[in-house]
Amino acid sequence: MTSSARLFRLPRVLCAALALLFAAALVQRVEAQDISGPLAQLTTNKYDDTEAALGALALSGSPAAAGIVSALADGKLVFGGTPPRVFIEGAGGALIDPLTMQPVTDAPAVKPVRVNNRIRRAIDAASGALSLVSPDAVKRREAALAVGRSRDEAALPALDAALAKETDPKVKSAMNLARASILIGKEGITPAERIAAVELVGAEGNQDALAILRSVPESAAPEVKQAAAAAIEGIERNLAIWGMAQNVWYGLSLGSVLLLAAIGLAITFGVMGVINMAHGEMVMLGAYTTFVVQEVIRTSYPGLFDASLLIAIPLAFVFTGLIGVLIERTVIRFLYGRALETLLATWGISLILQQAIRTIFGPTNREVGAPSWMSGTFDVGHLAITFGRLWIIVFALMVFFALLGTLRLTRIGLEMRAVTQNRRMAASMGIRTNWVDAMTFGLGSGIAGMAGVALSQIDNVSPNLGQSYIIDSFLVVVFGGVGNLWGTLVGAMTLGVANKLLEPYAGAVLGKIALLVIVILFIQKRPRGLFALKGRSIEA
Amino acid sequence: MLNMFTHARRMAGRALVGAAALALAGGGVASAQETIKVGVLHSLSGTMAISETTLKDTVLFMVQEQNAAGGVLGKKLEAVVVDPASNWPLFAEKARELIAKEKVAVVFGCWTSVSRKSVLPVFKELNSILFYPVQYEGEESERNVFYTGAAPNQQAIPAVDYLMENEGVQRWVLAGTDYVYPRTTNKILEAYLKSKGVKAEDIMINYTPFGHSDWQTIVADIKKFGSAGKKTAVVSTINGDANVPFYKELGNQGIKATDIPVVAFSVGEEELAGIDTKPLLGHLAAWNYFQSVDVPENAAFIKKWQAYTKNDKRVTNDPMEATVIGFNMWVKAVEKAGTTDADAVIDALIGVTVPNLSGGFSAMMPNHHITKPVLIGEIKEDGQFDIVEQTPGLIVAEEWSPYLEGSKDLIADWRKPLSCGNFNVKTGKCGGAGQ
């Protein structure tokens, strides 16, 4: 009881303290005070004390407070020694005195000050509020948004004071919005004020606004509730349309993953007719190539980490391509025209590759990191788009068109098509069909390896990685039409979008089942898929 | 046909064992007397190898430690390891091999509930002992099985309580993989939350297939569900491999633990080893043990374990601790009974108390489950857990959940004269003993 009561009280204390701090800061009368009390509290290794210390630090008006709070946020605030003292950990582990900012000569053994969700929220509120008066407009705007999210009434005086001084229109509107967010739930304001706040928040039109509008208190005047209800209805209608767009986007994103997984198979199975059960393992090898590249970069060239995927793509292509050529030369070339034997042989190869990886790298997942340019999101309207997914779509399309170009425009592409369409005629025209077979299988495998680089960003890098994609890959190629690259593209995107449009209504499990049933019915009707190849080649 | 074949093979196996016994009676009695065999029934290949291999190593480690300390009843222990290869029917076959052919005194094994259910008839028929070390959905108590993992009230319910009290959570997403453990756990949690006054519209339940990898829609739904103006949390019973893409998507869509915390029941130190944990900072897990438990017993155990595996980065986890507790309980019970005879050991096990690795003691209760502390941890940047809450005392397992219609009147008590795993207190009848 006492602990939970304290929990609810503390943020208020903190915010009140912060408000005082800003009021003080704004009139330029900052008085440096003794902060040894809160500093001592930071050494007790208790969350309650840490939270109290944060509040007291803010109240102190000490110029060192901001540095201490940001060090705590970064996990750089440590304590140790007898009696215990607090230090900021600088570059290379050197300890710095938080008051004087001078290096400590007699550094004791230290432990970091522990941080949990509660402390993290307190830090956010503290540092958000601290930067309301920052000289940097971007920071001020972020601070305003943070204060708006925290919706604490105690921050209102500080916000009002900052608003009075603010000149930047963007920051000003963010601050106004934050103020309105707080006012909506506040007791004792006039209905007119509250309606103005409702309208301001309602104009935002996003999910956060919805959450704020729904918190209009029960005691509010009927006209306020009416205004809020109207605003909520408008936003919900608007968001429903955006929701459809978001589902289509998710579908395209899933489609691009399916396309990447299937496109190599479109070559080995679609063009060559080899039922390649080891296709998934080629994807897995590509993912492990990425892991190895990242390991080397981490240990030897940490500065190159952001380029790790770009380096891994050609390496994965070459490595898995070579493995593919090796498999073709040693196993598959003896089995052309014998579908069942090929199926069993490639299934065996897939097991061998899995166990080999398990032996070399262990059965557990391996960590593949995301480079900074693949992290984060941006908004288009109310559509949230993650960079990682966007790049995967771009990459899938690049691979697709590069492959299409290779088949259409290059000599090796021409020879591949010639061998597929009429092997004996091609051979009698002087094409080394054996060599073309090996190259084609290598190309398909190499592309699967490149897909593995991309998939390592969104899935587990484990020996089982390939298994989860093999069924989907066959599904896409068969659905799209065997032997037709455009069919693979359209098939992947159709399945992706259909899956994501079904999912919100049917759930993930039923959605997947429904999709499989639809594909089965479709194949019954059109056994050759969406884009059937016409002519002699399919019979050969 | 297949049955006949296995039966024939079994007969042949028995004949062989008989022959071997005769041979031993002639010359090798001494060596047979010197060791007590301990069976290890964990998958070393296939999909479950990722989790179960560690437990096999744990039993081998404990056997070595026990032998170094002089063995049991003056005899050395000998581990017999078999590989059921993540194949449920094979679990039963391998269990039979361990008990009937190898004559092991006890078996440590199984991870999934379906593998446990598959070996149950074998342990009953041949009257042997199984120690099961993984948290599970409850709703079971068998004479031949000792459950050292958590029942739902030793993991799920305290975690929900923590979120309610400390984070003020009012809206709940129960997300799980589509199989028996998440479904039963979520059924219990739903009933529990409703009993605490949570309305139906504040609970969202979502199931996904095994190995689900595209979480965009579900994470977006969670985000939407969380924007209703009430603090929201996710209770995750998502299993194994699907967790990595789930957490990656949470990070991608910018859901931080300070906004919508996720508390997981199947994510431990081993699972986090494959994830970049920076975006997961502050998400939670509920277990009965964490590697980061700061007590001398645990530090000593980790040191010995890392020396044994010759890997100073090897992590420990909750099912490992449950295996260690089970092993120590069995040793103590055998010494108490003075024999490895199954009936005597089963009776002796009830009431046995051994130290656990979090600085306390765990006791085997009459329902064949053990008492445990419950710990809540927040994920740290290094993939370890920062323990933010620990129940003050030990919690006794509720093997039959009081929140489910079918089981609320049932109790299990294997002490004589009741000796029943599902005694109905309303009708006064035992539903399952002697089956």
Tell me, yes or no, whether A280 lies in a domain.
Answer: yes
Best interface-test mutation with B: which of A259, A283, A390, A459 has the largest number of B CBs within 10 A? A459
Q: Which residues of B touch A121 (CB under 8 A)?
A: 258
Which B residues in the span 113-152 are in contact with A, Cβ-Cβ below 8 Å? none
Q: Do A77 and A163 reside in the same domain of the chain?
A: no
Q: Which residues of B touch A246 (CB under 8 A)?
A: 220
Q: How many domains does chain A have?
A: 3
Answer yes or no: do B224 and A250 touch at CB < 8 A. Answer: no
Closest-CA distance, B129 to chain A, in angstroms, reads: 29
Answer yes or no: do A364 and B50 touch at CB < 8 A. Answer: yes
Nearest to B274 among A366, A384, A499 (CB): A366
Q: Which residues of B touch A355 (CB under 8 A)?
A: 45
Q: In terms of CA atoms, which chain A residue is nearest residue B243? A: A460
Tell me, yes or no, whether A517 lies in a domain.
Answer: yes
Tell me, yes or no, whether A227 lies in a domain.
Answer: no
Tokens of B117: 């259910």
* pLDDT tens column, A96-146: 888 888 888 777 888 888 888 888 888 877 776 667 777 788 888 888 887
pLDDT at A140: 84
Q: Is B216 an interface residue toward A (CB < 8 Å)?
A: yes
Tokens of A217: 């208190």
Closest-CA distance, A231 to chain B, in angstroms, reads: 14
Answer yes or no: do A367 and B223 touch at CB < 8 A. Answer: no
Tell me, yes or no, whether A139 lies in a domain.
Answer: yes
Closest-CA distance, B199 to chain A, in angstroms, reads: 17
Nearest to B229 among A215, A358, A460 (CB): A215
Closest-CA distance, B171 to chain A, in angstroms, reads: 13
pLDDT band (50, 70, 90) for residue B2: very low
Give domain B156-264's CATH number out of 3.30.505.10, 3.40.50.20, 3.40.50.2300, 3.40.50.1110.
Answer: 3.40.50.2300
d(CA B106, CA B112): 19
Query: In this complex, how many residue pairs, one in chain A and one in chain B, have their CB atoms less than 8 Å apart?
Result: 125
Domain boundaries, chain B: 2-128, 156-264
CB atoms within 10 A of CB B80: 16
Best interface-test mutation with B: which of A1, A117, A456, A461 has the largest number of B CBs within 10 A? A117
Answer yes or no: do A507 and B206 touch at CB < 8 A. Answer: yes
Which B residues in the span 302-361 are in contact with A, Cβ-Cβ below 8 Å? none
pLDDT at A35: 78
Question: Is the preceding omega at residue A63 within 30 degrees of 0, hence cis?
Answer: no
Give the residue from B159, B138, B139 showing the smallest Cα distance to B149. Answer: B138
Q: Which residues of B touch A460 (CB under 8 A)?
A: 241, 244-245, 274
Amino acid letter, residue B13: G
Phi-psi region of A138 (alpha: psi -120 to 50; beta: other; left: phi over 0): alpha
Within this chain, domains B2-128 and B156-264 share the same CATH topology: yes
Answer yes or no: do A207 and B223 touch at CB < 8 A. Answer: yes
Q: Do A121 and A142 reside in the same domain of the chain?
A: no
Answer yes or no: do B207 and A370 touch at CB < 8 A. Answer: no
Q: Do A428 and A391 reside in the same domain of the chain?
A: yes
- pLDDT (tens, 9 = 90+) of chain A, 540 residues, equals 444 444 444 455 455 555 555 554 444 344 445 778 888 888 887 888 888 888 777 666 677 777 888 888 888 888 888 888 888 888 777 888 888 888 887 778 888 888 888 888 888 777 766 677 777 888 888 888 877 777 767 677 778 888 888 888 888 888 888 888 888 877 777 888 888 888 888 888 777 788 788 777 777 788 888 888 888 888 888 888 888 898 999 999 999 999 999 999 988 888 888 889 999 999 999 999 999 999 999 999 888 888 999 999 999 999 999 999 999 999 998 988 888 899 999 999 998 998 899 889 877 778 888 888 888 788 888 888 888 899 999 999 999 999 999 999 999 999 988 888 888 888 899 999 899 999 999 999 999 999 999 999 888 888 888 888 898 899 999 999 887 889 999 999 999 999 999 888 888 888 888 999 999 999 898 888 888 765 444 444
Q: Do A89 and A174 reside in the same domain of the chain?
A: no
Q: Is B295 an interface residue toward A (CB < 8 Å)?
A: no
d(CA B172, CA A355): 41
d(CA A351, CA A372): 35
- Give the 3-state secondary structure percentages of chain B, helix then strand then coil, rounded to 5: 45, 20, 40
Nearest to B261 among A117, A124, A208 (CB): A117
Answer yes or no: do B261 and A389 touch at CB < 8 A. Answer: no
Q: What's the ipTM? A: 0.76
Nearest to B245 among A214, A377, A458 (CB): A458
pLDDT at A534: 59
pLDDT higher at A309 or B244: A309
Tokens of B356: 């656990």
Closest-CA distance, B232 to chain A, in angstroms, reads: 12
d(CA B172, CA B193): 9
- Measured in residues, chain B has a length of 435
Answer yes or no: do B207 and A508 touch at CB < 8 A. Answer: yes
DSSP A200-266: HHHHH-SHHHHHHHTT--TTS-HHHHHHHHHHHHHHHHHHHHHHHHHHHHHHHHHHHHHHHHHHHHI
Best interface-test mutation with A: which of B210, B216, B231, B241 has the largest number of A CBs within 10 A? B216
Q: In terms of CA atoms, which chain A residue is nearest residue B383? A: A367
Closest-CA distance, B421 to chain A, in angstroms, reads: 35
Tell me, yes or no, whether A540 lies in a domain.
Answer: no
Q: pLDDT > 90: what percent of chain B?
A: 60
Q: Which residues of A touch B54 (CB under 8 A)?
A: none
* Statement: residue B6 has pLDDT above 80: no
* pLDDT tens column, B261-289: 999 998 888 878 767 788 788 899 999 99
pLDDT at A81: 82
Q: Do A81 and A119 reside in the same domain of the chain?
A: yes
Q: Which of A220, A255, A286 is at the close of a domain?
A: A220
Q: Can you give the pTM of this predicted structure?
A: 0.80
Answer yes or no: do B228 and A257 touch at CB < 8 A. Answer: no
Q: Do A48 and A101 reside in the same domain of the chain?
A: yes
Which B residues in the span 195-214 are in contact with A, Cβ-Cβ below 8 Å? 206-209, 211-214
- Residue appearing with tokens 């304001």: A189
DSSP A109-162: -EEEPP--HHHHHHHHHHHHHHGGG-S-HHHHHHHHHHHHHHT-GGGHHHHHHH
Q: Do A117 and A249 reside in the same domain of the chain?
A: no
Answer yes or no: do B217 and A208 touch at CB < 8 A. Answer: no
Q: Is B229 an interface residue toward A (CB < 8 Å)?
A: yes
CA A300 to chain centre: 26
Answer yes or no: do A363 and B378 touch at CB < 8 A. Answer: no
* pLDDT tens column, B119-155: 999 999 999 999 999 999 999 999 999 999 999 999 9
Q: Which residues of A touch B249 (CB under 8 A)?
A: 458
Average pLDDT taken over every residue of chain B: 87
Answer yes or no: do A4 and B165 touch at CB < 8 A. Answer: yes
d(CA A308, CA A305): 5
Q: Do A445 and A468 reside in the same domain of the chain?
A: yes
Nearest to B282 among A116, A247, A365 (CB): A116
Q: In terms of CA atoms, which chain B residue is nearest residue A257? A: B214
Best interface-test mutation with A: which of B234, B252, B260 has the largest number of A CBs within 10 A? B252
Q: Is B392 an interface residue toward A (CB < 8 Å)?
A: no
CATH of domain B2-128: 3.40.50.2300
Stretch (H or E) spanning A366: none
Tell me, yes or no, whether A178 lies in a domain.
Answer: yes
Closest-CA distance, A154 to chain B, in angstroms, reads: 19
Range of the domain at A120: 2-127
Answer yes or no: do B245 and A116 touch at CB < 8 A. Answer: no
B68-76 mean pLDDT: 93
Q: Which residues of B touch A215 (CB under 8 A)?
A: 229
- CA distances (Å), origin B184, targets A434, B104, B205, B403: 57, 33, 12, 11
pLDDT at B174: 96
Tokens of A230: 């109207």
B342-347 mean pLDDT: 95
